[in-house]
Structure 1
Amino acid sequence: MYLKQDLYQKTILFAGEKHKKQKLPIYGLPYVVHLSNVAMEVMFAWESCKDFDIEYALQLALLHDTLEDTETSYEELEKTFGIEVSKGVFALTKDKNIAKYEQMQNSIKKILNCPKEVGIVKMFDRITNLQKPPKHWNNKKIISYRQEAQYILESLKFSNKYLAERLSFKIDEYEKYITESFQ
């Protein structure tokens, strides 16, 4: 009866433990706040358009940075959450062994070979990251980040109409940070 809630609790507790030393750069809050924001976006989108697997998407939302930012191994993730979740998280993980400018293209290529929920979570992740940039970012970095968001949108917009519109709105809204940095 309460499988979704139990699955959410299991997943957020795992992610919270794995990310417990990590903080959000701007606000200094525990990193789990970012993960829960991505999960919140999943829940709101699902209310608008129930054309994706909410349970799978929520797990991906909460775990999407686990392989990239923590000591968690693929094997541990697979043992705890199964092969489909592990594959999805792996696709969302940037390969740090390749040049930085190729990492997003490589990740998008992996995402396109996965169920649409993986692309949906990638777009949600970028939506939640299109907030006020860190103070140490220069205008070039802000412009580059916005362009990368546009690339994500163009590559994955087929995944969910509601989400594509939301990401497009956030990209447009992010423009204000570019303008502000010229003043």
Structure 2
Amino acid sequence: MIQNWSQDHYVKAWDFATMAHEGQAYGGPIEGQRIPYINHIGSVTMELICGLNSNASLNGNLAIQCALLHDVLEDTDVDFRTIESIFGLDVAQGVSALSKDERLPTKREQMLDSLKRIKLQPREVWMVKLADRITNLSEPPAYWTDEKRAAYREEALLIHKELHEADELLSKRLLEKAESYKQYIKT
């Protein structure tokens, strides 16, 4: 196993993300179930680390910090300048690219814009997006409609199409998860 990242960088970003997402939860596959949001953050980072293990030349600290912080701009009161001041410009720019611009009118436009910005970032940021969608292709919340589930799977295939060159392992895993996700779509 290759370790191209520092535990100190991990802990600093983990602690920050834990505090930023404090009290947040998301719906689980069982009706009424609520899962602490930090579970998603940890799952994304675990997937990312699997990809990092195969390439010593990657900047693991950048990748892991972006993974741990990938939703703080989108889902909390934390702003770009705060991330930049604590974690540096490269991490702040990576997290920003991973965040949807909610000023755009549709989810599709938001995703296309984010993918365009991600592709301007180092490969490690691309890997975070792959890891994020891999994690999100677990069993969906019980309240999601078939239409939403199908659209989410299609979006995963778009992410793969745009970012598959980032990492062979994560690319393959995303396709496997997208295939498996069909079981949650009834129509």
TM-score (norm: length of structure 2)? 0.91
Distance 1:44 1:12 in 2: 17
CA distance in 2, matches of 1:98, 1:59: 26
Deviations 1:79-124 (A, max 9, x none): 0100000000000000000012211000000001111111110010
Partner letter of residue 164 of structure 1? S
Give the Cα separation in 2 of the matches to 1:175 and 1:128.
15
Pick aligned residue for 2:141 from 134, 153, 157:
134
Output the amino acid matched with 1:31. Y
- Write the distance in 2 (CA, Å) between the matches of 1:122 and 1:39: 11
Percent identical residues: 39
Aligned-partner SS, 1:24: strand
| 1:91-102 map, 5 Å | 91-100=97-106, 101-102=108-109
2:81 maps to 1:75: yes
CA distance in 2, matches of 1:139, 1:59: 34
Q: Which residue of 1 aligns with 2:50?
A: 44
2-structure distance, mates of 1:12, 1:111: 22
Deviates more, 1:65-74 or 1:95-104: 95-104
Unpaired stretches in structure 2, ≥5 consecutive residues = none
Name which of 95, 106, 118 aligns with 1:111.
Answer: 118
Q: Which residue identity is paired with 1:172?
A: E
Matches within 5 A, 1:153-164: 153-164=160-171
Whole-angstrom CA distance in 2 between matches of 1:30 and 1:133: 15
Write the letter of the residue equivalent to 2:122: P
Q: Does 1:151 align with 2:151?
A: no
Q: Partner amino acid for 1:37?
A: S
Give the drift of 1:54: 1.2
| Residue pair 1:64, 1:92 contacting (<8 A) in 2 also | yes
Task: Tell me if structure 2 keeps the 8 A contact 1:42–1:54.
Answer: no
Question: What is aligned with 2:39?
Answer: 33
Give 5+ residue unaligned stretches, structure 1.
Answer: none
Q: CA deviation at 1:52?
A: 2.0
| Greater per-residue helix proportion | 1
Is the Cα contact below 8 Å between 2:27 and 2:142 reproduced in 1? Answer: no
